[in-house]
Amino acid sequence: MVNSITIIRPDDWHLHVRDGEQLRAVLPYTAKQFARAIIMPNLKPPVVTTAMALAYHARILAVLPAALKSAFEPLMTLYLTDNTQPEEIFRAKTSGIVQGVKLYPAGATTNSDAGVTDIAKCYATLEAMETHDLPLLVHGEVTDPAIDVFDKEKVFIDRVLVPLVQRFPHLRIVFEHVTTRDAVAFVKEASSFIAATITAHHLLLNRNVLFQGGIRPHYFCLPILKRETHRQALVEAAISGNPKFFLGTDSAPHSQANKENACGCAGIFTAHAAIELYATAFEQVGALEKLEAFASFHGADFYQLPRNNSYITLNREKWTVPEQYEFSGEKLIPLYANTELNWKAVDAPVKMH
Ligand code: DOR
Ligand code: ZN
């Protein structure tokens, strides 16, 4: 039995860290494990310009604990709206800090009201992204209320993604947090310009947990957890070694009060144990040796950024996830609160084997 693995330090290619005191509370969990993270722009108000992304970047660096200052780099994104101009894409690309533009269909999820109402309104901007080679990051769910919540991803592929890829064949697209067998098949068959992130919670859980003994708001996220066959397809993709699939936690903190609510927010906080949760999912299927490429190589390669050169070690060591974390005067309930995990990550200054 393997009791320890050392891998190149991973990156998180999809992360929500919020702002202000909430940002200060959650950022260290990510910065301790990951060298870089793609920072989602769905703040209130959303990060719609390069100037706003630069300011957010500075706020993130300002709250990084001193010990982690040189070890962590936030990679910024812009929030695409119907009004994003092609000139903004040029500014973003040349800023050196913006690595992608996020498409939220309006109304699809948390703080997506300012999102895109009709993708056709963005064609000129998408063309600029294709020209300047700035990736599009996609929340792939339709917002049509007639579509069943469990089918929103599949219908998005058919209605939006397939035509988009045909129109912009050289636009790099990250299909974020894929949750279905259909999405995995689409990405596998698509050109090398198309890749996908997979969360730890979608690898570990199926939709049954949402209703185990009652309604469980801490398992509610978007896209919603799917049935077991879809979870299995995600695991197969993650461990396949296919460079189109890589790590993106979608760790999305909301206060306990906003989760345990008659209209609870979507989002699961996983940053407290992100790489350990992925290690758990990979070990369950005997594929721990596949973790490094998924967590540390494929994303960097797709984003055309250098791979990291520091290391992290995962030790087989039991620890219990705390019941809650501090969250700017409120409580944050992490995934697997009060539950024992079998892996613990520590820094590894040099590779030990
Ligand atoms: O569960 C989710 N939470 N999905 C999203 O797309 C947004 C995120 C958030 O910002 O809370
Ligand atoms: Zn997200």
* Residue minimizing CA distance to atom 3 of ligand 1: 267
Total-model pTM: 0.97
135 pLDDT band, cuts 50/70/90, is very high
- Looking only at the bridges linking them, the beta strands covering 330-332 and 325-327 are antiparallel
CA 251 to ligand 2 center in whole angstroms: 7
Q: What ranges do the domains of the chain cover?
A: 4-351
pLDDT in tens, 192-219: 999 999 999 999 999 999 999 999 999 9
DSSP 145: T
DSSP 295: I
CA 310 to ligand 2 center in whole angstroms: 26
Catalytic residues: 250
CA 345 to ligand 1 center in whole angstroms: 25
| Stretch 113-125: mean pLDDT | 95
Identify residues whose C-beta is under 5 A from ligand 2, the ion: 250
Ligand nearest to the CA of 199: 2
Q: Report which of 306, 304, 317 is spatially closest to residue 346, judged by C-alpha positions.
A: 317
Q: Looking at the structure, give the CATH architecture of the domain made up of residues 4-351.
A: Alpha-Beta Barrel (3.20)
348 pLDDT band, cuts 50/70/90, is low
Mean pLDDT of the chain, nearest integer: 96
- Looking only at the bridges linking them, the beta strands covering 194-198 and 173-175 are parallel
pLDDT in tens, 288-335: 999 999 999 999 999 999 999 999 999 999 999 999 999 999 999 999
Mutation test residue for ligand 1: of 47, 77, 103, 110, the one with most atoms within 8 Å of CB: 110
Ligand nearest to the CA of 254: 1
The burial of 192, by beta-carbon neighbours within 10 Å (0-12 exposed, 13-18 middle, 19 or more buried), is given as exposed
Residues with CB under 6 A from ligand 1: 16, 42, 109-110, 139, 221-222, 252, 266-267
